A and B are shown apart, each in its own frame.
Chain A
């Protein structure tokens, strides 16, 4: 059988069977159960009974919930923009290193992936704390008078979010950046563009599809982060993921938590769709 032929009959489809079964059993079925739960009726005391009611979805229209939703989208959108803005120039410079230098940097960056969200959260909260954090270094350098706590705060949370997603953004951008023809940037230089103009008028537009993919990736990834907001943020910085955890685990309100999760997924899908639509605008 040639690789270009479509598989025919049961036998040739067999290699696909295992991933298909795994996906169905461990992803689609739990997801279906969660969708079903989101319509269930909650019984006080932590239980729920089968029903079909929209009460859980109706609760979205409270100022508290809409506030949390708005904050989550704002935080994750900001993290996506900042992280991508840092990753594009970084990857660009990385691609100009010697192959050996590139490998070392990539290994270093990928090693961050081996750290769990919890460890990263604790590390940053220590680093930004008053007693052991970098503010002590600033005092030693004479930049400030006395140590202060930079965490928990919005900026600490944003920093943690960017840190945790940065390796992924570099990984997504790296193939596109290394595939850029160096003669294209050289052409821009001979046509009168400074290195900075070249970067913004040639490099960034050429990387547009990869940049859009990076934005979507960081956005979706940070929407699912729920430990960092509790470690690095104040209660008003808790995102929808924290809210869902709180409803499901501490309030034992599984139907409402399920409804919020479904809603969050729909909202992020819609935003991703819009981003792709806008980003893919002028590709042919």
Chain B
């Protein structure tokens, strides 16, 4: 097992900044996910780790040794590309055994290893087939097998599932995660799909605006986002502009009304953002209930989205759109146009810098 440390890594193309100020620890045997919108620099970061781009500054330490000067062919990493990048002129078996072929291993060894890997990705007996004869999901598995052929020190995945349809993608996420845990290989996954990141990662690195925004386990990223960028990017968020009053009163003001919240970060005063996740927000059918308790605000239903298992109620609260999500059995009996009350449980209210 190998671990990787990035120290102050930066990459720019001329005057165009791709990614900067990246200091990270990728622990051995873990699956770390670089998550962010397109153009945030996550793929550039992965390509620097793979050796396909040279960092403009900073160090990449694999088990304590700087690997920045090594070309990609001497790093011993396995990478699955977004386009999969299979060799169309070779058979499935030859694709998988390519790294062994380059190392000069015997044909029998190559063949045996290819068969073994095909078994592992649950595609036995197709070694002699041509790559062009495979389905999307099969190509996917072949690309994964090829990257794992010589027990890579790091397993790098660049949006590997983006070409698959939704159902297959979800199944592959779980399968890939189980495979990674079984092989215990240090893995970095790049994705813009937060659901994929939540499913697979031990640690999520949220990236945005060319830098790291937050690092943490999936549940922490979701429950305790470090800033509005993370809160907005991960999951659905209700974000309200509020004002923090001085004196540590534990309350903020929204639209003139006091709203009590769980905790306010130290030193935060003035304009701030209040975050409430949709599943924490309650909609009470009666407009009159607004007067009946703390953290209750009057609102108007604008839309009800019933997706089967869950029901989303969209409301307008003083000109701000909010979404409340609940299980069907807990869903309030409301319709578009109804005057209602929304309740923000104090424990579910997080205050972030604006």
Contacts and interface: CB of A to CB of B under 8 A. Distances in A.
Contact of A187 (B79, B103, B130, B133): B79
B99 A192 contact: yes
Given A191-B102, A192-B99, A181 B79 contact: no
Interface in A188-229: 188-194, 197, 201-202, 205-206, 208
Nearest to A204: B89
A8 interface: no
B72 A284 contact: no
Contacts of A284: 130, 132-133
A192 B88 contact: no
A181 B102 contact: no
Contact of A282 (B71, B72, B89): B89
Given A189-B71, A193-B102, A184 B79 contact: no
Interface residues of B, number: 34
A187 B86 CA distance: 8
Contacts of A192: 73-74, 76, 99, 102-103, 150
B132 A202 contact: no
B229 interface: no
Contact of B81 (A186, A193, A197, A205): A186
Contacts of A201: 98, 101-102
Given A284-B132, A284-B133, A190 B51 contact: yes
Interface string B120-134: 000000000010110
Most chain B CB within 10 A, of A192, A197, A284, is at A192
Contacts of A186: 50, 52, 72, 79, 81, 85
Given A192-B99, A192-B102, A284-B133, A184 B73 contact: no
Contacts of B156: 190
A183 B88 contact: no
Query: How many residues of A sit at the interface, in one of the four size bands?
Result: 20 to 34
B78 interface: yes
B133 A190 contact: no
Contacts of B150: 191-192
Contact of B72 (A190, A202, A206): A190
Contacts of B90: 205
B89 A189 contact: no
A184 B102 contact: no
Nearest to A202: B87
A242 to B, nearest CB: 40
A191 B85 contact: no
B115 to A, nearest CB: 18
Given A186-B81, A194-B73, A206 B89 contact: yes
Interface string A38-70: 000000000000000000000000000000000
Given A183-B82, A194-B73, A188 B98 contact: yes
A284 to B, nearest CB: 5
B75 interface: yes
Contacts of B78: 190-191
Nearest to B71: A189
B141 interface: no
A209 to B, nearest CB: 10
Given A193-B98, A201-B102, 16 more contacts: A184-B83, A184-B87, A187-B81, A187-B85, A189-B51, A190-B75, A190-B77, A190-B78, A190-B156, A191-B98, A191-B149, A192-B102, A194-B71, A205-B87, A205-B90, A284-B132
22 contacts: A183-B83, A183-B85, A184-B83, A184-B86, A184-B87, A186-B79, A186-B81, A187-B79, A187-B87, A189-B71, A191-B73, A191-B146, A192-B74, A192-B103, A197-B102, A201-B102, A205-B87, A206-B88, A206-B89, A208-B89, A284-B132, A284-B133
Interface of A: 181, 183-184, 186-194, 197, 201-202, 205-206, 208, 282, 284
